[in-house]
Amino acid sequence: MSFPNAAKRLMTGAGAVTAAVVALALPASAHVTINPNTAEPGGYGAFNVRVPNEETDADTTKVQLYLPTDHPIASVSVQPVPGWTAEVTKSRLPKPIKVEGGELTDAVTAVTWSGGSIRPGQFQQFWISLGPLPNDTPKLYFKALQTYTDHSGKTSVVRWIDLPDGGAEPEHPAPSLTLAKAAAPQAKPIVKKTEDGTGTALGAAGLVAGLLALGVAIVALRRTGRSTGA
């Protein structure tokens, strides 16, 4: 076996192993998600709904995102995506929420993107602006439906609606947004220390020793001068 042929076979084998590893890793991570997935309660933010295509022979042709009605968000707006049409649905809330200047009885409860396509091996980001984010819950869940259409025109729907139950991650978890206040920045110490904490003490001791040595030297020189003069 010549070296070029052996190297070629080795690279081909490594490529196959890498492809297999990637293929195994994709199902565990290729979910519909909200990014970034953390934000401060009471604030506003821009988030993207990241939608990957997990199929090999069908395109994603519609994405439906459902906003939580138990913790409604007063202001919701969408950023246009070339090739896609966004339809915003407003619904009457089961319980009005207080907002600045009054009460909110209707809110955006769903956004549907359609008209475009996400091909196999690709993903799309749909940007939305949300606020003010609620202060009375540590996490928001946004259930999502992803519609696939194959080359024959047949459609299927993947329902990203599963909520955690304390065990393993569900197969189709609902996109979520964690709400938590940012940690307050800690003040930096003015005095720098070495790793063992002795740098400052050793520096001070060295300075005192140097001053004492200088004093002894001056006294010695004076005595030497007097002895010479005598």
Q: What class does CATH assign to 31-179?
A: mainly beta
What integer pLDDT is reported at residue 98 of this predicted model? 78
Question: According to the model, what pLDDT value does residue 124 have?
Answer: 98
- Give 178-213 pLDDT, tens digit per residue: 999 987 777 666 655 555 555 554 455 555 566 666
pLDDT (tens digit per residue) in 116-145: 999 999 999 999 999 999 999 999 999 999
Domain boundaries, the chain: 31-179
Work out the average pLDDT over 10-24: 40
User: Greater confidence, 2 or 207?
Assistant: 207
Residue 50 has pLDDT above 50, yes or no: yes
**Contact of 157 with 96, CB cutoff 8 Å:** no
Flag whether pLDDT at 37 surpasses 90. Answer: yes
- pTM comes to 0.68
pLDDT tens profile 78-99:
999 999 999 999 999 888 877 7
**pLDDT value of residue 148:** 98
At 210 the pLDDT is 62
Task: Tell me the average pLDDT across 155-173.
Answer: 93
Least confident of 24-28, 55-59, 189-193: 24-28
More confident residue, 218 or 121: 121
